[in-house]
Amino acid sequence: QVQLQESGPGLVKPSQTLSLTCTVSGGSMNSGSYYWSWIRQPAGKGLEWVGRINSSGSTSYNPSLKSRVTISVDTPKNRFSLRLSSVTAADTAVYYCARVDTAMVYWYFDLWGRGTLVTVSS
């Protein structure tokens, strides 16, 4: 059973870079046709898609964050990562990693991590 697990610092200082990793267990990132995404949710607010990557390293980012976001993949280690630079308090949120299976007729986030809270504060 494939599972996703986010990890990384829970506290980041303003103007610094937020770095998170999502580890895929129970299956290989290379098996199948998947997009691996980061999604975030500020406390008490809705969900915002941050960006995605596939196992080949092809990326797509939300234009609202594009200048600050980098998503990378490490298929041998079965994980992908998020870097968000120049963070402010507005970047404080629970960050989720999630998967879309593009081999299906329908596309949707079928698998989610449990989420990790990142707080931006000095």
Partner 1 sequence: EIVLTQSPGTLSLSPGDRATLSCRASQSVSSSYLAWYQQKAGQAPRLLIFGASNRATGIPDRFSGSGSGTGFTLTISRLEPEDFAVYYCQQYGYSPYTFGQGTKLEIK
Under the rule (CB under 8 A), what is the footprint of partner 1? 37, 46-49, 52, 60, 62-64, 96, 100, 105-110, 112-115
Phi, psi (rounded to 5 degrees) for 118: -115, 125
Question: Is residue 94 packed enough to be buried (19+ CB in 10 Å), middle (13-18) or exposed (0-12)?
Answer: middle
Least separation in angstroms between residue 114's CB and partner 1 is 6
Q: How many other C-beta atoms lie within 10 A of the C-beta of residue 28?
A: 12
Give Cα 73 distance to the centre of its chain.
Answer: 11
- Comparison of 73 and 97: residue with beta carbon closer to partner 1: 97
Least separation in angstroms between residue 46's CB and partner 1 is 5
- Comparison of 16 and 41: residue with beta carbon closer to partner 1: 41
Least separation in angstroms between residue 32's CB and partner 1 is 17
